[in-house]
Amino acid sequence: MVAKTPSASSNTWNCNLLMDKIAGGCVWLELVKYTLIITEKPAAANRIATALDERSKPKKTSQNGVPYYEAYRGGCIVVVPAIGHLYTITSKQKIRGYPVFDYHWVPRYQAEKGAERIRVWLKVISDLAKNAETFVDGCDFDIEGSIIGYTILKYACGEKQDTAKRMKYSTLTEEELQATYDNLLPHLDFALIEAGLTRHEVDWLYGINLSRALTEAAKSASGQYTTLSTGRVQGPTLRFLEEREKDIQTFVPAPYWSLTAKISIDNEVYIAEYEKTLKTLAEAKMIQATTKTKAGTIDSVGVYESTINPPVPFDLGSLQSEGYKLFRYTPMRTSAILQRLYLDALISYPRTSSQKLPPSIGYKNILKKLQKAPAYTKQATELLIKPSLKPNEGKKIDPAHPAIYPTGNLSQKPLDAASKNVFDLVVKRFLAVFAEPAVRQSVNAVVNLNGNLFRFSLMRTLVEGWFRFYRPYVQVKDDVLPPLSEGQPVEVLRVTLKEQYTQPPPRYNPRSLLLEMEEKEIGTKATRAATIQTLHDRKYLNGTDHLAVSALGFEVTGVLERYCPTVVSPKMTRMLEEKMEAIQQGRENKQSVLADTVKTLKRVTSELKDKEAIIGMQLSLALRQSWLNARTVGACLKCGDGQLIILRSKKSGKRFVGCTNFFDGKCSASYPLPQRGTVKPLGSTCKSCGAPMVATYLRGKTSWRLCLNPQCTSKITGNKAGI
């Protein structure tokens, strides 16, 4: 792996002496041979270098602002990080039109504005590669990490991808990093890389061609440029959101009536429900009339016990789902928190679809470490005295990584509130999967009121089992269970008749949308959260907790459904995912998949070009409506029939609120706005004066509710904590 030297000790002396005595850039690296390790992020480079260095004190060097680390472990090691993807795909010809099928991989600074920093980064990596003897891909072991390492080794390091070795680890703990370095994989996972490159290139082909088709159509009709996007994953996701929205908007509520009886047993009050839903008021009133009695009897009592197994370990999707359910964190936010915890070596690699915890992770060792934290001492101790530890596992498997678990390391610095919440959730889920099942008892009783049957159910916990380990994230209600027997009299306090209406299906929230995408196999564990965020960024969705498709979203989906239905079909996306899997398994090849993609897109883009005028008119109208919706503050109080919207003065460049009737010379109402931060309409009115309200956000963190009326006594009613 390293250059031959007289002895290990002399090699150590030479390497460390050079590292200690020679400063500045790569000077010492020209004098010795070394192993170059490529990592995905600077934090990972620091962790790896510290773990591998025999003194645990690697030397950090910065060249033109690019950090790298010099270490020694049986030979000289240099660890240099990337900052995510340093290479991307772009078209070979600089054209704005479509279709586009000729592309290549290039450094990001050649394809993206604002990425000039990448040029410097690649120059430093290339310099470090010149005198390296051995190359190691130390990026995260998944598709994205494999592509990052592969492209750097191929393009920046001079075609070293075929000779490079591979580190495979699931945590950034010292023990695992040392073990994986001592047992390097002999080569990169080329099947995984091939599948990843194919997915990137297929997604680029769909995204660039369909997005340009929509954008160019809208621009030709309106004369204004607005980025519109869709793609292989965006399209199907937006389509089933649209289908749900149509179901909601066309839903016709149907009335029905319910009867509930308030009864007393041993001075405890219970609510029993009539056994059937009543569809007519006449039937409901007739039955209510026959229930007028002060005493009823219990017809039957059923007592059942159910065993509730512990939860299964977290994969990324289930953890994102739980994060939204418990803390209202969006999937993107949960992913970002998990990445920080992983880089701090507090949890294992988060982008996994596994629900398995192999014994090789060292259950007892992790529990012993967690035992040192007061918050987990009791539970960890209880598990450690068990004769054996066997996790309750799920069915899902990921060949690259196990399920998400805590490493046992405890943070050496205070965690922010969100990170603390997610870390605690990961730890308690890990503890819970090793605990015993819980046992619940349910009692189902039937109450007879003059021949009318009402039912109620009660539940209590008999054996807490894993509940104790997962609190407060498991909430179960324990009812008071009175002694019940057949023929037992009950006191009837009141029978209530209530009119109700059937409800439309609920709108998706970030949690349910994520689960739907996973069930329909749309996207991957690493891309689903980003897809949801992109739909928001493109103004295709309204709302954050209850996701409604906007007018623009409806129009984009409508265009795609009419002129290229295959690209919004979940079936098409699922089929492509199956082909990616087949590439990994050697049953399919990249060239065949790309050829099929180009064939499909040639047909689709031809259809879109033929209909560009009508598509552009539809999209431009939807864009205008979207623009108005995003800026409409509320009704004008001065003229009564205009709408107040957020505008910007051509003369001064300042933003303000004005009335739409101003353009017709009918109203001169205007109100000042703060010039810093982001201003968004709230869709509500001031409780004090009735004027419309807006919210202002500074750097996305601080916000106020503002009443537009300058004379309102309660103009600022919000706080710095946000809205």
Query: How does DSSP assign 125-176, residue by residue?
Result: HHHHHHTEEEEEE-S-SSHHHHHHHHHIIIIITTS-TTT-EE---S---HHH
447 and 569 both lie in a single domain = no
Whether residue 554 is contained in a domain is answered as yes
Whether 24 has a pLDDT exceeding 50, the answer reads no
User: Residue 701: what pLDDT?
Assistant: 58
pLDDT in tens, 55-113: 999 999 999 999 999 999 989 999 999 999 999 999 998 888 899 999 999 999 999 99
Whether 597 has a pLDDT exceeding 60, the answer reads yes
462 and 603 both lie in a single domain = no
pLDDT in tens, 271-319: 999 999 899 999 999 999 999 889 999 999 999 999 999 999 999 999 9
Whether 714 has a pLDDT exceeding 70, the answer reads no
Most confident of the ranges 74-78, 355-359, 611-615, 632-636: 355-359
- Section 242-247 average pLDDT: 93
In the 8-state DSSP scheme, what is residue 189? -
Which residues 6+ apart lie within 8 Å of 154 measured at CB? 160, 161
Residue of 349, 363, 508, 540 with catalytic role = 349
- Section 686-709 average pLDDT: 77
Whether residue 126 is contained in a domain is answered as yes
User: Residue 703: what pLDDT?
Assistant: 67
Which residues 6+ apart lie within 8 Å of 6 measured at CB? none
pLDDT in tens, 160-188: 999 999 999 999 999 999 999 999 999 99
451 and 521 both lie in a single domain = no
538 and 592 both lie in a single domain = yes
270 and 242 both lie in a single domain = no
338 and 363 both lie in a single domain = yes
User: Residue 637: what pLDDT?
Assistant: 82
Q: Helix 331-343 vs helix 316-327: angle between axes, to the nearest 10 degrees?
A: 110
- Which of the listed residues 473, 501, 529 is the one where a domain comes to its end? 501
Whether residue 568 is contained in a domain is answered as yes
The gap from C-alpha 511 to its chain's centroid, in whole angstroms, comes to 9
175 and 103 both lie in a single domain = yes
pLDDT > 90 fraction of the chain, expressed in percent and rounded: 65
Which residues 6+ apart lie within 8 Å of 43 measured at CB? 81, 343, 344
Judged by average pLDDT, the poorest of 28-37, 326-335, 478-487 is: 28-37
Whether 241 has a pLDDT exceeding 80, the answer reads yes
User: Residue 700: what pLDDT?
Assistant: 55
Whether residue 723 is contained in a domain is answered as no
Domain count, the chain: 5
Q: Are 233 and 531 in contact (CB under 8 A)?
A: yes
- Section 354-360 average pLDDT: 96
Whether 351 has a pLDDT exceeding 50, the answer reads yes
Whether residue 520 is contained in a domain is answered as yes
- Which of the listed residues 482, 501, 520 is the one where a domain comes to its end? 501
Which residues 6+ apart lie within 8 Å of 162 measured at CB? 187
pLDDT in tens, 645-677: 888 888 888 889 999 888 888 898 888 888 888
- Which of the listed residues 589, 620, 651 is the one where a domain comes to its end? 620
User: Residue 12: what pLDDT?
Assistant: 43
How many angstroms separate the first and last alpha carbons of the chain?
57
127 and 25 both lie in a single domain = yes
Whether 693 has a pLDDT exceeding 80, the answer reads yes
Interatomic CA distance for residues 318 and 77, integer angstroms? 38
Between 221 and 440, whose confidence is greater?
A: 440
536 and 596 both lie in a single domain = yes
Quick check: is 405 catalytic? no
Whether residue 379 is contained in a domain is answered as yes
Whether residue 715 is contained in a domain is answered as no
514 and 557 both lie in a single domain = yes
**Banded pLDDT at 13 (limits 50, 70, 90):** very low
Whether residue 421 is contained in a domain is answered as yes
What residues make up the domain containing 699? 632-707
350 and 414 both lie in a single domain = yes
476 and 424 both lie in a single domain = no
